[in-house]
Structure 1
Amino acid sequence: MSKLKAYDIIRAPIITEKATMASEANQVIFKVARSATKPEIKAAVEQLFNVKVKAVNTIVRKGKLKAFKGIVARQGEVKKAIVTLEEGHSIDVTTGL
């Protein structure tokens, strides 16, 4: 897998209070491409961060209707990946790539 394809699969890390709590369990949460599969996500994370991935779980958050200044619009669907790392491996998402 080329490095460009890996960057297309892994869009951004998700840094929230819940994601910070998951990091204590050696997990990192990423926003990923909608068409990405679990093996592709695993390969991309291993290539970009030089870590060993134990498991990948995915979630698709359905789009919602939101109103902003009286204009109602639909947010798009977002796919998230919860990546569990092997013992001894870690990713610091606050530093960036």
Structure 2
Amino acid sequence: MANVQYYDVILKPVVTEKSMELMGEKKYTFLVHPEATKSQIKEAVEKMFTGTKVEKVNTMNNDGKKKRVRGTYNFGKTAKTKKAIVKLTEDSADIEIFQGL
């Protein structure tokens, strides 16, 4: 990944029932840049949200889904995505964008 700043690494938070349950364990889920590494994700979270310390980062690559495109036999694919589950340390501050959800 050439010339990607920390604010380009995290694209958006994932808000689902499962990700909300993980917040009780100080685990937060984000969609990240497909070429981001675990160390870049850790650095981005610590810089974007003050008072946070990342203990561990788990990532998963998801292939694009097959979708029908106007017609009976024409198929295309949606974009590939990458998700990251970030576990914060016990003494770390919570991430504020998830407060009140």
Superposed CA deviations along residues 6-40 of structure 1, whole A, max 9, x for unmatched, are: 11101111111111011111100010001110011
**Would you say 1:24 and 2:24 are equivalent positions?**
yes
Q: How many residues are matched?
A: 92
1 CA distance for matches of 2:44 and 2:96? 16
Residues 67-76 or 81-90, more deviating: 67-76
For 1:35-46, what aligned pairs fall within 5 Å after superposition? Answer: 35-46=35-46
Alignment of 1:55 with 2:51, yes or no, is: no
TM-score by length of 2: 0.80
Correspondence 1:93 to 2:79: no
Gaps of 5+ in 2: none
Residue in structure 2 matched with residue 15 of structure 1 by the alignment? 15
Query: Per-residue displacement from partner, 1:40-79 (whole Å, max 9, x unpaired)?
Result: 1000100000210000000001111124776743111100
Give the SS at the match of 1:18: helix
Matched, 1:6 2:3: no
Give the one of 63, 78, 81 matched to 1:78.
81
- Structure 2 CA distance for partners of 1:26 and 1:68, relative to 1, 3 Å: farther
Moved over 2 A (4+): 66-73, 92-95
Distance 1:39 1:65, change over 3 A: same
Question: How far apart are 1:93 and its partner, in Å?
Answer: 2.5
Cα distance in structure 2, aligned partners of 1:9 and 1:73: 26
Pairwise CA RMSD: 2.0
